[in-house]
Amino acid sequence: MLYIHIPFCEKKCAYCDFLSFKSDDEETEAYINSLNIELIQKAALLKNHSPKYEISSIFIGGGTPSILDAEYIYKIFDNIYKNFSVDTDAEISIESNPNSLTYEKALSYVKNGINRISIGLQSANDEELKMLGRIHNYNQFANSYDEAIKAGFQNINIDLIKNIPNQTSASFKNTLGKVLNLNPSHLSVYDLIIEEGTKFYELYNNNELPLPSEEEQGKIDEALYSTLKDNNYIRYEISNYARNGKMCKHNLGYWTDVPYLGIGLAASSYFENRRYKNNINIKNYISFWKSYNNQYDNLYDLLSNTSIENNIKDLSPKEIEQNLMNEYMMLSMRTIYGARKNYFHKKFGGTIESIYGKVLRSYSDYIIEDDESFHFTDKGFDISNQILSSIIL
Ligand code: SF4
């Protein structure tokens, strides 16, 4: 799998702690140039390492990828197709925001082979959008959704946020109603999290953030689960719902232990059981790749020497193994498939039953055990964060 990070946004949303910021034309151009160099270099080393490896999914995420001029996306895809082998059935997704997604851009994505688009709506209520610091209103979103359909997209995700300040179950139901009228194949519905360093964090600490009461949050959740179930959306991950089998292959890959290469600022990679994170400083990132002179001749060296973090620093082999097992449990349990017994045994030698069985079975009202896996019930999904934090070794 391949992930490409575009860190640019027009304005920072009040709740956002992602690495995203406004950029000018010069910096954008330099960034895309460096990103293309990184992409070509990693592709060449991947080919040396595994000549037959085929990319099963590509995800262009952000930030706001739709902020880029279409020509940059063309250039990136030209390099992807020339340098990687991409599976003919690959799922290729791009994230977008309503204020920058035009018909022309959507059409250029389709021409590049992009077959899935995600549009960040967050709420269909303009007051709530303002509160979140979003720079679009509902009508702009509805237009961009139409443009994506006209351009040929059939697989569309809409991102929503719940428990927004001043949100009520009635306004949330109204958002759901409007969204379901559009008939999207996929919905991602995330809880608002108050992250340090955001505008919301400050307001929250000053008691100036009117979050819905616990009771109201319960009603919002109830409305979400029952409405989506009634409309044939399958909750296949804690926050993700799909119709007609249109689950996001790429995200499922993250949760089911599929390796991936990350390209771009702060992008993460997972290769041969090790995790890496790219540079987070844009100036350093741009200048490193601009002056890159093929100093690494295998992918492992390139990833190890260019990452600012990896998951094996200063750890013993036993600790590394334990971390990998915990990660597998935490990620795989997020999905309806759960933690797979055979897969775990093949990968780690031990069994899930002997290592995590006792604690998993203590949640028998929330976790189902069958011959193949341990997985959450619907009720279990609702309190999965609590349960997952208790199973870590
Ligand atoms: S558009 Fe997305 S990435 Fe950009 S600031 Fe808003 S939430 Fe963050």
pLDDT tens by residue, 40-82: 999 999 999 999 999 999 999 999 999 999 999 999 999 999 9
Atom from ligand 1 closest to the CA of residue 11: 5
Q: How far is CA 211 from CA 103, 282, 330, 382, 389, in A?
A: 36, 34, 28, 19, 25
How far does residue 12's CA lie from ligand 1's centre (Å)?
6
Atom from ligand 1 closest to the CA of residue 133: 6
Quote the CA–CA distance of 187 and 162 in Å, as a whole number.
12
Kindly state whether residue 261 falls inside one of the protein's structural domains. Answer: no
Residue nearest to atom 3 of ligand 1 (CA): 63
* Chain CA centroid to CA 165, Å: 24
Kindly state whether residue 270 falls inside one of the protein's structural domains. Answer: no
Range of the domain at 209: 2-254
Residue nearest to atom 5 of ligand 1 (CA): 12
Global pTM value: 0.96
Number of domains in the chain: 2
Q: What integer best gives the mean pLDDT of the chain?
A: 96
| pLDDT tens sequence across 136-189 | 999 999 999 999 999 999 999 999 999 999 999 999 999 999 999 999 999 999
| pLDDT tens sequence across 324-351 | 999 999 999 999 999 999 999 999 999 9
Kindly state whether residue 99 falls inside one of the protein's structural domains. Answer: yes
> Does 120 share its domain with 239?
yes
> Does 227 share its domain with 354?
no
| pLDDT tens sequence across 250-290 | 999 999 999 999 999 999 999 999 999 999 999 999 999 99
| pLDDT tens sequence across 87-135 | 999 999 999 999 999 999 999 999 999 999 999 999 999 999 999 999 9
> Does 39 share its domain with 179?
yes
Q: Does the C-beta of 189 come closer than 6 Å to ligand 1?
A: no
Q: What CATH number corresponds to the domain at position 345?
A: 1.10.10
Q: State which of 227, 254, 281 marks the end of a domain.
A: 254
Q: State which of 210, 231, 254 marks the end of a domain.
A: 254
pLDDT over 80 at 247, yes or no: yes
CB neighbour list of residue 347: distance below 8 Å, 6 or more residues apart: 257, 328
Q: State which of 237, 254, 271 marks the end of a domain.
A: 254
Q: Does the C-beta of 156 come closer than 6 Å to ligand 1?
A: no
Residue 63: asked if its preceding bond is cis (omega within 30°), the reply is yes
Q: What CATH number corresponds to the domain at position 51?
A: 3.20.20.70
- Phi, psi at 18, each rounded to 5°: -70, 160
Quote the CA–CA distance of 257 and 210 in Å, as a whole number.
39
Alpha helices in the chain (DSSP H): 25-49, 70-83, 103-111, 126-132, 138-151, 169-181, 199-205, 214-230, 249-255, 282-290, 299-306, 317-332, 341-348, 352-361, 378-382, 384-391
pLDDT at 228: 98
Kindly state whether residue 312 falls inside one of the protein's structural domains. Answer: no
Atom from ligand 1 closest to the CA of residue 12: 5
Q: Which two tokens stand for residue 128?
A: 């709530």
pLDDT over 90 at 392, yes or no: no
Kindly state whether residue 285 falls inside one of the protein's structural domains. Answer: no
> Does 116 share its domain with 13?
yes
